[in-house]
Structure 1
Amino acid sequence: MRELSFHGVTVRFGAGRSALAAVDGVDLTVPAGSVVGLVGESGSGKSTLAKAAVGLVPTTDGEIRLDGAPLRARRDRRRLQMVFQDPYASLDPRMTIGASIAEAVPGRPGRTGRAAEVARLLELVDLDPSRAGSLPSGLSGGQRQRVALARALAAEPDVVLADEITSALDVSVQGSVLNLVRDLRRQLGLTMLFISHNLAVVRYVSDVIAVMYLGRIVEAGPAAEVLTSPRHPYTRTLLDAAPRFGVALDDPVPADSELLDDEPPSPHDPPPGCRFHRRCPIGPLTVPERTVCVEKDPQPAAADRPHRAACHFASDAAPASLEVPAR
């Protein structure tokens, strides 16, 4: 497995006033042999970033590298494999799952060799090899997602990009798929970009957590540090929004602020300064003197702050200081 890195990557759709920067100057590294969890609200640009990596959408600016070498040729992109949110849509309903997996096996092994490899891959994802002759319609959602993982692994990729692979599954099935991801990482030393809008899911499988908001990475760091000492108020609100055992749901936390009830600003017209300031529980709407949040973009100096946080007050933003100020 190898390291995947994004350097100033921008993906823009349209032109002129109608242009939309779905991804805006993203810097992110997925170290070899690790799982990086990319989390954020729907529409934040997570899936677009992954699609840019595998070549499904063109980049407007920046560079995507694998072990430091730019990904340019189509054959380079094959070294990255993506697993999509809907396992049924990603599999040909007319092909058996064995044929779908065999199609991705590199080289030209004989029929016996292909069958043996398909059986090995199905066992790897905890499916009975006898299911190779089944059609996707004959499998459950969790089983189809396991097939999609097996198909991605069949190509012997350097990096796997998993895009919301548990969001379409029942809660009871999500846990088994997440356990499978952890087992595969341990057995194969997988390098993975694991995308989800659910921070509770991301924390279970990730070594590093990156938080995305309106096309930008607003915080990134070791999972344990980001979860216990978030430096960006948006990360804190995501944490507070996740149900936790032993914590009353009516506790006063930033996620309960009326400021966060609004939809995120339109990516067609992002706000000036900090992109989160119109919803921020510690921003100028609650602390009027913090006009810097409206006037100055915190992103350029993010590399110098803890967790590369795109927040002017990240350096002194211990969890306690992220509480909603008294009004």
Structure 2
Amino acid sequence: MTGLEFRDVSVRFGSGHAAVTAVDEVSLTVPAGTVVGLVGESGSGKSTLAKAAVGLVPTAGGEISLGGSALRTQRDRRRLQMVFQDPYSSLDPRMSIGESIAEALPGRRRRAARRAEVSRLLELVDLDAGRADQLPSGLSGGQRQRVALARALAAEPDVVLADEITSALDVSVQGSMLNLVRDLQRQLGLSMLFISHNLAVVRYVSDVIAVMYLGRIVEAGPAADVLARPHHPYTRTLLDAAPRLGSSLDDPVPADNPLLDDEPPSLQDPPSGCAFHRRCPIGPLVMADRDVCTESDPRAGSAERPHHAQCHFAGDHRSVEATAP
């Protein structure tokens, strides 16, 4: 297996005053045989980063490499396979399930060998091999997503990029899909970039967690460490907002402060200094002596901070606890 690396990758849309930077000099590694969970709210740049890897959007800077070799051609990028969010648009409705999977198989094979491999892949994702002749219209959303995953695995990729693959599914189906991802990782030593806006989902399948905000990775590290000892206030806010056993959806979190913005800022007009400071429960709107947050970019010095956190006060959550009800 081979690792995937993003090095100072940027993606921009538009030009002139209308230009927006959707991915801002992101560096991230998906080591071979691991699942890296990339989490952040909608619009943070997660899906754009994945699409840049497979060549669906152009990069404006940086390099994406696999096993140390830059991905420059479409043939290079075939070593990456992406599973998309919407299971209903990811499969050709006119092709049978078996045909869709067989289309992704590399090399030329005899019909019997192709059919045997399709059967193996369907069983690998916990679907009856007899479904190979069915059309996608006869499947539920969860079953279609399993077929999409089987199709990705058929190409024998080095890395799978799973973009919000559970968010369109019923809650009861999400758990079985997450269990499947965990089982495949154990059986195949699967390398995966698992993208979600839901930290509770990411924590279940990931070896490493990277947190993305407004186009930047603001914290990254081993999953257990990031969850137990987050060093960026945005990560702590995501953790506090995740539903817990015995909690109510109406329970406030430290970021529920009328002084703070509810929504992320516009990519066309990002804040100066720390991009999170208008929403930060330990930032200058809550603690008046923290002008550095509005004046200085926290990327400087992040390499020396725990989890490479892009926060001037990384790990300082005393004031978060003080704002909690």
Q: What TM-score bracket applies, with the shorter chain setting the length?
A: over 0.9
User: What is the CA–CA distance in structure 2 between the aligned matches of 1:37 and 1:237, rounded to whole Å?
Assistant: 17
User: What is the CA–CA distance in structure 2 between the aligned matches of 1:16 and 1:324, rounded to whole Å?
Assistant: 43
* TM-score, L = length of structure 2: 0.97
Please name the residue that 2:321 is paired with: 323
* Alignment CA distance shift 1:73-1:79 (3 Å): same
User: What is the CA–CA distance in structure 1 between the aligned matches of 2:196 and 2:250, rounded to whole Å?
Assistant: 25
More deviation, 244-253/128-137: 244-253
CA contact (8 A) 2:39 2:46 kept: yes
* Alignment CA distance shift 1:129-1:26 (3 Å): same
SS at match of 1:274: coil
User: What is the CA–CA distance in structure 1 between the aligned matches of 2:223 and 2:247, rounded to whole Å?
Assistant: 21
CA contact (8 A) 2:22 2:267 kept: yes
CA contact (8 A) 1:101 1:150 kept: yes
Matched length: 325
Please name the residue that 2:12 is paired with: 12
Please name the residue that 1:26 is paired with: 26
Q: Which amino acid aligns with 1:300?
A: A
CA contact (8 A) 1:207 1:223 kept: yes
CA contact (8 A) 1:287 1:325 kept: no
User: What is the CA–CA distance in structure 2 between the aligned matches of 1:145 and 1:58, rounded to whole Å?
Assistant: 27
Q: Which amino acid aligns with 1:298?
A: P
CA contact (8 A) 2:54 2:82 kept: yes
List gaps (5 residues or longer) in structure 1: none
SS at match of 1:81: strand
CA contact (8 A) 1:93 1:135 kept: yes
CA contact (8 A) 2:254 2:323 kept: no
User: What is the CA–CA distance in structure 2 between the aligned matches of 1:206 and 1:7, rounded to whole Å?
Assistant: 21
CA contact (8 A) 1:22 1:44 kept: yes
Please name the residue that 2:269 is paired with: 269
* Alignment CA distance shift 1:100-1:179 (3 Å): same
1:66 aligns with 2:66: yes
* TM-score, L = length of structure 1: 0.96
Please name the residue that 2:110 is paired with: 110
Please name the residue that 2:182 is paired with: 182
Cα-to-partner distance string for 1:108-164 (whole Å, 9 max, x where unaligned)? 101111100100000000000000011111000000000000000000000000000
Please name the residue that 1:144 is paired with: 144
CA contact (8 A) 1:259 1:280 kept: no
* Alignment CA distance shift 1:138-1:222 (3 Å): same
User: What is the CA–CA distance in structure 2 between the aligned matches of 1:159 and 1:280, rounded to whole Å?
Assistant: 34
- Equivalent positions of 1:46-85 (< 5 A) are 46-85=46-85
CA contact (8 A) 1:277 1:294 kept: yes
User: What is the CA–CA distance in structure 1 between the aligned matches of 2:322 and 2:17, rounded to whole Å?
Assistant: 36
User: What is the CA–CA distance in structure 2 between the aligned matches of 1:18 and 1:166, rounded to whole Å?
Assistant: 33
User: What is the CA–CA distance in structure 2 between the aligned matches of 1:278 and 1:138, rounded to whole Å?
Assistant: 48
CA contact (8 A) 1:253 1:323 kept: no
Deviation at 1:73, TM superposition (A): 1.8
Deviation at 1:326, TM superposition (A): 8.7
Deviation at 1:257, TM superposition (A): 2.6
CA contact (8 A) 2:274 2:297 kept: yes
Cα-to-partner distance string for 1:14-63 (whole Å, 9 max, x where unaligned)? 11110010000001011110000000010000000000000111100000
CA contact (8 A) 2:219 2:232 kept: yes
SS at match of 1:273: coil
